[in-house]
């Protein structure tokens, strides 16, 4: 990522905003240039044919049980998590730039 200027701004992106017990947070799915697409469990393939940015309001709340699948890449890529303030307590074994696997615990919400 350090060698490609504006990498995360150039690739396909899906920004999902959620409200949880500790407040709002964002999960950003960044599909690499070779990724065949991004899917969510609530809408299937998310890829506007014209590649222009768009916003979709689903009207009703989408609720996911803890640990449930949210979506997937049709080939690997990057997920960015954004939490406000000191909401998240990251586990000591996690460091910047480290790869993690599906289902691996990376932290806990404060107070949980």
Extract the tokens encoding 52: 């222009």
- Domain annotation covers residue 1: no
**Helix (H/G/I), strand (E/B), else coil: 103:** coil
pLDDT tens-digit map of 83-105 = 887 788 888 988 888 888 878 88
The percentage of residues in the chain with a pLDDT greater than 70, rounded to a whole number, is 76
In a domain, 103, yes or no: yes
Residue 2 lies in a domain: no
Distance separating the N- and C-terminal Cα atoms of the chain: 33
pLDDT in tens, 55-81: 778 778 888 888 888 887 777 677 888
pLDDT, average across residues 26-41:
76
What whole-number distance in Å separates Cα of residue 98 and Cα of residue 100? 6
What's the pLDDT at 94? 85
Domain count, the chain: 1
**Does the residue 81 lie in any domain?**
yes
Residue 42 lies in domain: 7-109
pLDDT at 79: 83
The reply to whether the predicted model has a pTM over 0.85 is: no
Asked whether the beta carbons of 17 and 24 are under 8 A apart, the reply is yes
């Amino acid at each position: 990522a350090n060698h490609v200027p504006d990498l995360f701004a150039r690739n396909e992106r899906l920004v999902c905003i959620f409200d949880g017990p500790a407040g709002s947070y964002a999960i950003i799915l960044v599909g690499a240039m070779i990724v065949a697409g991004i899917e969510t469990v609530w809408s299937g393939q998310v890829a506007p044919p014209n590649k222009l940015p768009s916003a979709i309001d689903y009207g009703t709340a989408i609720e996911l049980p803890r640990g449930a699948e949210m979506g997937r890449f049709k080939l690997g890529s990057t997920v960015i998590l954004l939490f406000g303030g000191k909401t998240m307590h990251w586990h000591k074994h996690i460091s910047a730039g480290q790869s993690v696997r599906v289902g691996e615990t990376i932290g806990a919400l404060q107070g949980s």
